[in-house]
A and B are shown apart, each in its own frame.
Chain A
Amino acid sequence: MAKATDKAIYFDSSLCTDCKGCQVACKCWNNLPSPIGVNENQNKATAENPYIGSYQNPPDLNSMTRLIMRCNEVETPDLQKGVGLVFSRRSCKHCTDAGCVRVCPPGALYHDEETGFVAVDQSKCIGCHYCATACPYDVPRFYGEKRFIEKCTGCVDRVQNGLKPACVTTCQPGALDFGQRSEMVKKALGRVEVLKARGYKDACAYGINEMDGLHVISVYKYGLDVHQEVKEPKLSAIVPLSEVAKPLSAVGIAAVVAALGISFINGRKYDIGDFRYDEVTGVQTKHGEFYEQFDPAEIKAGEEQEPVHEISRRFNGDKRKGGK
């Protein structure tokens, strides 16, 4: 579970106004660009992002966007309003049991000590994209020609200097907050009760136990489905498999090398001509003893009756020919 001293970002979808201030503040603080070709952002209506009553753009996280506000709509026959706009914050959730951290070869992804956030050291990233395969939320994206990691860092650079994450600082309506994780959890649970009393019967808190505790605690007004949230996030089997694969292979290779080492040592001064075995007599003649006892004539004598497994020799002037 998350440490008692951990911090968390709090997101309350019922206070959010979808102003996208967070989305833009994230870009500003982290120097993330936006497409600037003329009309490059336009005509993006696709099957996935058909402007279904949605004010959402870009359609998803991308190589220059670490945070987006999702905007969906829902019919709410139980409520007076009859319809609802659904705002959800989509970014890294900062899992306690973070698959991305576990599979990252160069340690570019790591848990920040102070906050528990999954921080990023971009200078270490080698672009292997293992993190993407391990993330239950499909968060990691990759930027630039070298396709290095692009993901929310939890603004640990700001937090270390006494500030709140950029998205939280900019949030006017108070939908985002930052503080002790335990307090954020308490706040979320309290908020869910308020929303339920207001008639949002599917309201729920998210991130308290998921992935051993997320460091983004969310309050979802309309429930997980409508908010496009992952219902029961699980660590991909890829993560433990990757982790087991390495020691197992190390052991395997070491065993092989050791066996070959023994083999090499025992094979010292071996000469294919120095060894003889007679299937007729069953005599194994050991190395060194053989020279004195060897008589080619004896062998020749038995040749017709019994097949003798020949050992070619390169000594004693005897040049046995293959075949008959």
Chain B
Amino acid sequence: MTTHWNDLKNTDVILHCGSNSVENHPVSARWLNKAHENGAKWIVVDPRYTRTAELADIYCRIRSGTDIAFYGGMINYILQHNMWQRDYVLNYTNATYLLEPEFEFDIENGLWSGYNETTGKYDTASWHYQTEEVIEASTTSGTFAWASEPGVPEFTPPAFTKPKTDPTLKDEMCVLNQMKKHYSRYDLETVSAITGADVETLELVYKEYGKTGKKNKKTGEYDKNGVILYALGQTQHSYGAQNIRCMGIIQLLLGNVGVPGGGVAALRGKPNVQGATDMCMMPTDMAGYLQWPNTTDKKSIRAWCESQTYSAGYYTNKPKFLVSFLKEFFGENAQLENDYGYDWLPKVPSGVDFTISSTFEQMAAGIIKGYFCWGMNPAHSTGNTKNCRDQLAQLDWLVDSEWHPTTTTEFWLAPDMNPKEINTTVYFLPAALIYEKPGTILNSGRWLQYRYQAVEPYDQSKTDFEMCDLLWKELVKLYEEEGGTNPDPILNTKWDYYVDGKIDPRPVSWAMNGYRPGSSDLENAKPDLCKNFTELKADGSTACAIWIYSGHYNNSEAPLDPSAQPIGSRIKDDPSGLGLYPKWAYAWPMNRRILYNRAASDINGKPWTASKKLNEWHEDTKAWDRVDVPDWAAGTVGAENGENPPDNKAFFMTWEQNGRLESYGMADGPLPEHFEPFESPTENILNGSQCNPMMRTDFWGNKNYERVTRDGDDFSSLSSNRGDAEEFPYVATTYSITEHWQTGSQTGSCPALTEAIPTQWLEISEELAKELGLTYGDKARVWNSRGDIIVDTLITKRMKPLTINGKTVHQVGLTHHFGFKGEYSFSYSDGSLGYEGNSGLTNDLTPNVGDPNTGIPEYKAFLVNIEKA
């Protein structure tokens, strides 16, 4: 989230799109209700009328997978009706920037300029800005003065390419004009035909949400803000990242980023999804969103610094974070002479997919032979779980660490598996539950909080860090005794997270916060902790495992007492009245509660509206008056010549320091464009490509990144296996409910929760039920080219057929919490209904195709057929 949970109460318009936060993030309801009480309008856009929709004022039903059409329509509406917030857009975004003249979208083929026929990828050069002048960076003074200090690895700081702009917006190549042109095709009728929402509802939603960009005619203030909440309903598409881009664009156009009650609210579920994202649990990112070394532009520390460091903005400091990271990783062994051990880090081969979706294909190809599965349940949760099971059966060994055996641990028990034919050795490591271990936890609002252990781990189960420690010690021992192909990375790694000889999360907190190794005595628990990441250096004098967390544990006086640290702080003061609670826990970065908060006041530093003041420039004192930690180069309080006066640099995490309406950073296009899902009941009427041309499918096979055209290629591989609308006429979407958490590995073992919702179901409209002859209490068989499951039917008025491109299309919803394995409840796999071999896993039906930027599979829109079981 660019903001935090409590801030939701400050909003004036709530837009849920691809999120069912009231059900799946119950705490959000508390703050949303407060906003609603204060008069906020509440809009829900969703294929299903959810419990969130029940609380809202306006409900707009759309076909699953047509979000970009919906957003595109809104962008068009905002631009056509001049609802965008002029002062914000002109100053704080790249709206006025001129794009390269080659920038173009080919409607015939559905391709952007720069498409390379041989690689099947885009060359993004034509998506860049026109350059006014190139300013070479100086290493003697200014931003990069530190780069010439001793100990800093050698690299050439990037030159600043000053973009050409046209503040009058007359130039056709202005980002805003290009957007107007691109989205002019998204008129209400077209959007209605694609999404199935009627024109009136669409217009109502666009109008209501568009109001947040408008000036209050009485006061002359921009006093309304809107927030867009999203979750897996947006990301789990073959164009998920572009869905999120749409929100970014809309929020920038309406001036809703960086203000109280605004922002793009990415709702993270399980405690630490946000934390896992931050820390490095991804094939492209290391801790703190620094990128992994690769075989091309990051093959050496110099190449890394040169390709990753920005020419302006805060990311000019990136080398400091990298060196501090390396210093923590390899400790004493990291020296300037050996590039701080950069080459000991694994180099991810460029252009190859290592996401979870590709993992099972690599197993099929015999590349992955052993699999460590830690705190996740892929045999229940990946796209096409049938494929997942088959591939797990190819492994030599599988290690699963969970608090009790899950679908993955016992994949060989699936009704369609034959244990006699499976040679995979499965090891189960009983893990301690969250309440059985101490440590930090991170929520969607980026709050780091410390939790103490409540009870001892059950029986012989161990905490994750204990297991890591044992594993690590054994690995090191083996490398020391037997050598190996490449022992250096292992043997040079620093591993000293002990207190009183026992592995402990507190030294990990020191490492995450950052410290000065020179003046620290870690063995005796006396770290010299950094105040925050502004103290990190690129000369090897600081160590920090994850720079963004720096500051969360910075009290060197009491390094063993979490309650004396910022993360242990529990003071309920809220001086601003905006629910910032600056002394409750610690929000990364820098305890900043609302990101991009410079944008909360105008170009002169005056708040858009007095009631939502985050900061204000006082010309007389040459100082900022602010209630949140500044998210811009504000300068030092009490500096001799005063603080930095307001300018247009509101987004200093980009090199332009402006918000990007258009972005060259995406794999599949500079502006979001509507494509149909991998499996769709209709044709794409907006452009010539049926699906996202960059969609990822067959992640590991030859078809990696191959184009998917309207004519259709052969997608008959195991993991995607496309079916067509003739055979499978119904649009299905999967979803979670509030009573259960994802694969049910925890909630499915709670009797009261299993009682609350005991079964998996198919949510189906009364109309379709009638057509299929289904009635209350019937079981339904749901199948497609990948899987075949039996579920209960839940016939409801809340589902309705849609008219898509003139044809009636039925949508159905499927929950995914139960499978063949469960403590108290599982699927009808026993053959009692005549369906032996039915795994009961909804994800047997979902295709293993994904977004080109993130690799997240398309769980939310696919085709099925249904009959009475």
Contacts and interface: CB of A to CB of B under 8 A. Distances in A.
Interface of A: 14-15, 17-21, 23-24, 27-28, 33-46, 50-55, 57-58, 73-75, 80-85, 87, 172-175, 194, 198
A99 to B, nearest CB: 30
A49 to B, nearest CB: 9
B472 interface: no
B55 A42 contact: no
Contacts of A52: 776, 795-796
B22 interface: yes
A85 B798 contact: yes
Interface string B779-815: 0000000000000111111100000000000000000
Contacts of A73: 796-798
B359 interface: no
Contact of A41 (B29, B53, B754, B761): B754
B143 to A, nearest CB: 46
A286 to B, nearest CB: 82
Nearest to A221: B54
Contacts, number: 144
A80 B797 contact: no
Contacts of A37: 824
A27 B755 CA distance: 11
Given A17-B22, A50-B777, A173 B798 contact: no
A38 B759 CA distance: 11
A17 B28 CA distance: 11
A254 B738 CA distance: 63
Nearest to A40: B824
Interface string B1-36: 000000000000000000000110011011011100
Contacts of A18: 51, 54, 738
Interface in B823-856: 823-826
B796 A17 contact: no
A183 B747 CA distance: 37
B197 to A, nearest CB: 12
B794 A51 contact: yes
Contact of A80 (B57, B752, B795, B824): B57
Contacts of A172: 26-27, 29-30
Contact of B58 (A50, A81, A174): A81
A48 B491 CA distance: 67
B756 A80 contact: no
B735 to A, nearest CB: 12
A39 B26 contact: no
B737 interface: yes
B751 interface: yes
Interface string B481-506: 00000000000000000000000000
9 interchain residue pairs of minimum CB distance: A53-B796, A45-B777, A50-B776, A41-B758, A173-B29, A34-B751, A34-B755, A85-B54, A81-B59
B751 A39 contact: no
B798 A83 contact: yes
A284 B757 CA distance: 88
B49 A15 contact: no
A21 B26 CA distance: 9
B724 interface: no
B471 interface: no
A138 B825 CA distance: 30
B753 interface: yes
Contact of B825 (A19, A42, A75, A87): A42
B416 interface: no
Contacts of B29: 15, 17, 19, 172-173
B792 A51 contact: yes
A173 B756 contact: no
A58 B759 CA distance: 12
Contacts of A35: 751, 755, 824
B794 A53 contact: yes
B204 interface: yes
B792 A45 contact: yes
Contacts of A57: 755-758
B738 A17 contact: yes
A289 to B, nearest CB: 86
B464 interface: no
B826 A38 contact: yes
Contacts of B792: 42-43, 45, 51
